[in-house]
Structure 1
């Protein structure tokens, strides 16, 4: 299938077309051009752990952005349900550097979240947990800096309930992920070995002291590739309202009638 296959197209913004593939239903061999296009983006953005064609088979969904029949960004995610909590893991989001100013990563993540809410009908879901895993100090510091109000209002990694910790434990066991230390439930071991290529002495890439309090002393994000899992758990009713607002912010009212993300999942 070509990268601009209309079956996967969901919306357009500022000349960039956004597509979404349900990987649980798609035939991987039919996605060859799409996978190759995403692999090119990944290789330009960082040092990948494995061949993208193998990696993507572990994911449940893939959204990507296209300009002039060229993939310029992608967002891969996985889905997991435990004890009335629906976890969306934003596994990998990458955009070519020349397009960083176009809010493409944001738009893909918003589309993924909206698609989940419109297409999944799991019974008994009371909360949605959004997860992002990173070993980059600047990103993890950002998690912390933006969690001040979140910690007051919601359940998150920097002030976690036992229920959230148990949900992540179940996710880890499903995906065979181990901890750096059992006392630090959000510090994941050996996630991205060797992928951080920045200078670890660079002051721009240092964990905040307040962040380091949430990590064991032997947390190794450079060689072993340890990473921090940031989760925020929201009530289901709030999630739907919040994501709807994000979509209006990103795409305006045009998304109301779009297939997969509009008011009717099948429209």
Structure 2
């Protein structure tokens, strides 16, 4: 999925591109989607688009756009989400491209608890996951949107982009469905002391507050992992690089074609 410019949205009217974010006053609305004004819906779409960009693999195109993205973050009015994104942007802008790429792969490709493929947390490596991916792809097509870049429909940047394009109700439904997975991703990033924890924290400010049942389910998921019924797919061979207290990345979710084939330096 190419980070810039915004992909075609078919019948959907996409939010402004990243340069437009710099010129747009954006409020991080945290009210229920059904209560948002039209202006707040547009503001929310801009924030979701920015979150999508920041969670994409930092290829050469996105790395070159860091000054523009940083300016967009600086243009946000004060809010908890804006503070989190400012902290991440400061770190991201200061990183060498190779170091940024290695950190991204380590956090999201080599650690199953912070994988960005959302249906894994709900269904694990089961046949139900395949059906969930199909249902999500059909949702996108019904809205007139086609995924580019070869990513699976449950990849979080893709889900965020769809939420920005389709609006708070139908568009954000997949995010709400995977609220517990998002919480687990944030916990894993926080435990790893990854600066990406600021991005996941900003996203959670847009989600309904976690219930006691959510927190119990997340704790159980972190301890036991998701369902483990195998679907007959061969592993991708990343297990030797994963820390002993984490799972392997989801088997149905290989990295995109532009990511480096080798793992980060250092023994896992």
**In which range does the TM-score fall when normalised by the shorter chain?**
under 0.3
More strand by share: 1
TM-score calculated relative to the size of structure 2: 0.27
Greater share of helix:
2
Q: TM-score scaled to structure 1, two decimals?
A: 0.27
